[in-house]
Amino acid sequence: MLRDRGDDDDDYTYEMDDYLGEYASVSSIVREALPFELIAVVGGIVSGIVLSGMTAEIEMIPGLLVLVPGIMGLRGNISSALGSRLSSSVHMGLVTGYDWRNRELLNNLLGSTILTIIISFFLGILSYLVSTFLGFPTAGLFKLILISVLSGVISGLLLSVVTVVLAIETFRAGLDPDNVVTPAIATIGVILSMIMIFIIARVVIMI
């Protein structure tokens, strides 16, 4: 027996109302996103504290101060975009668990990693050129590229794992990953990027 078209429309309307009530209502958006937005504010303060402790590294590696904002912006942009894509994939059922052979998951991770390598390399060159153009002393092109690429790639790989875990586990917990993953990753990304720049800069100083 064929179903009446009206029955399909009623089912669709019911599913949409159910989705809007569970994931897209104003109360659910504010309730789920607010804690992570507050954490993001604290994360910005923490990253500033880390930067303030890098005085010695900045003095020993001129040009590093030009590089830091670019690395922080790079990490936030790429990782947040990855989080958004994975959240959509989880919603659509394309990613349901920790299957690292899943094509959707693998493509997103590889794409983000390749973007990180390319942009980090470009940032290293750009920081050197800008420092030279403005007359700032510079530690040299090789060191700036090395710091940029290593800190970008290492923090990117760590954040990719965190992003996957957050997207899957928040959905399993009945939360909307779109409300949680992006602000959480942006915060973790800034802090992790600063820490990695600090560590890599220390290593480069010893080279």
Assign residue 39 the CATH number of its domain. 1.10.357.20
The CA distance from 182 to 159, in Å, is: 12
Spell out the residues 6+ positions from residue 195 whose beta carbon is closer than 8 angstroms to its own: 50, 155
Spell out the residues 6+ positions from residue 109 whose beta carbon is closer than 8 angstroms to its own: 82, 160, 164
pLDDT score, position 42: 73
Residue segments in the chain with a per-residue pLDDT below the cut of 70: 1-34, 36-37, 39-40, 43-44, 47-48, 50-51, 53-58
Spell out the residues 6+ positions from residue 37 whose beta carbon is closer than 8 angstroms to its own: 183
Domain that holds residue 145: 33-206
- 13 within some domain: no
pLDDT score, position 3: 45
- 28 within some domain: no
- 67 within some domain: yes
Spell out the residues 6+ positions from residue 6 whose beta carbon is closer than 8 angstroms to its own: none
- Number of domains forming the structure of the chain: 1
Answer yes or no: are the C-beta atoms of 152 and 74 closer than 8 Å.
yes
pLDDT score, position 47: 67
- 53 within some domain: yes
